[in-house]
């Protein structure tokens, strides 16, 4: 796979999310911030599009998606899954706590639009779809395509990890500098660790499972705020 294709696709999710929110807000006659709570609804179609692009990218090199991410059946143990999941949970929460303190002076801090209520039917559909498609899309792109597609050892970690973190600045998109910095700092420590771990082990499955578990926790919070009256306000005031 050409390096040119790798560097074209690594920022693609940033561009897509930015365009979707800007165009969507313009079409609805609203400010971008007013549709930010719909990020989880937007995320799944973008994930599916990302996976399709990865399938095409792999095919251009005579590979399948599984070969692109180096998936090997039967090599993953329960211990690996548990350990990687714990690292993702701890580093994910730690990164958000650190970023919240640095940017907002609050621990813990969570951007309120991330768990804002959405229509109940969509909140229900989100539970299985968003975690699975996100793991396939993000880990496939930044680990399978990025880490595997860059020859320089240091760049193969730093470049995908950078774009892995940057994409979260646009999920959802808000044109507020402090928010953008907060989102970037929140995810950069974790994305660096995930890219380095994958580079060393070349086994995507524990990372994908841990990643999906994190997202299950998020969509369950959205489910709760969507179905339980007053729960969102309670969460925002904690």
pLDDT class of 155 with cuts at 50, 70, 90: very high
**What percentage of residues in the chain have a pLDDT greater than 70?**
99
State residue 234's pLDDT score.
81
State residue 117's pLDDT score.
94
Distance of CA 106 to the CA centre of its chain: 23
2-11, 29-38, 228-237 — which is least confidently predicted?
A: 228-237
Residue 110 has pLDDT above 90, yes or no: no
Query: In the chain, what are the domain boundaries?
Result: 3-236
pLDDT class of 1 with cuts at 50, 70, 90: low
Helices (H), ranges, the chain:
3-9, 12-28, 39-59, 65-69, 78-104, 120-134, 148-149, 155-166, 177-201, 205-227, 231-236
State residue 238's pLDDT score.
64
Note the pLDDT tens digit of each residue in 177-217.
999 999 999 999 999 999 999 999 999 999 999 999 999 99
Residue 2 has pLDDT above 90, yes or no: no
- Cα distances from 76 to residues 86, 134, 202, in angstroms, run 16, 20, 11
Tokens of 9: 């696709």
Note the pLDDT tens digit of each residue in 128-143.
999 999 999 999 999 9
Q: To the nearest 10°, the Cα dihedral for 86, 142, 140, 55? A: 180
Instruction: Kindly report whether the global pTM for this prediction surpasses the value 0.85.
Output: yes
Residue 54 has pLDDT above 90, yes or no: yes
- The mean pLDDT of the chain is 94
Average pLDDT over residues 14-41: 95
């Amino acid at each position: 796979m050409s390096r040119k294709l790798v560097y074209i696709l690594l920022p693609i999710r940033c561009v897509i999310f930015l365009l979707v929110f800007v165009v969507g807000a313009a079409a609805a006659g609203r400010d971008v911030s007013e549709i930010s709570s719909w990020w989880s609804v937007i995320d799944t179609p973008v994930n599916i599009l990302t996976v399709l692009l990865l399938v095409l990218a792999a095919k251009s090199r005579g590979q399948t998606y599984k070969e692109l991410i180096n998936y090997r059946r039967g090599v993953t143990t329960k211990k690996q899954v548990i350990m990687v999941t714990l690292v993702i949970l701890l580093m994910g929460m730690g990164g958000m706590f650190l970023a919240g303190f640095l940017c907002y002076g609050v621990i813990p801090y969570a951007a309120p639009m991330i768990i804002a209520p959405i229509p109940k039917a969509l909140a229900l559909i989100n539970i299985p779809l968003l975690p699975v498609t996100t793991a396939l899309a993000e880990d496939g792109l930044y680990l399978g395509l990025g880490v595997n597609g860059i020859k320089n050892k240091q760049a193969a970690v730093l470049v995908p990890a950078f774009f892995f973190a940057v994409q979260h600045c646009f999920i959802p998109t808000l044109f507020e500098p402090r928010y953008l910095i907060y989102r970037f700092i929140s995810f950069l420590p974790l994305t660096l660790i995930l890219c380095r771990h994958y580079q060393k082990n070349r086994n995507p499955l524990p990372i994908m499972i841990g990643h999906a578990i994190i997202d299950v926790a998020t969509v369950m919070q959205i489910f709760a705020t969507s179905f339980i009256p007053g729960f969102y306000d309670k969460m925002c005031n904690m």
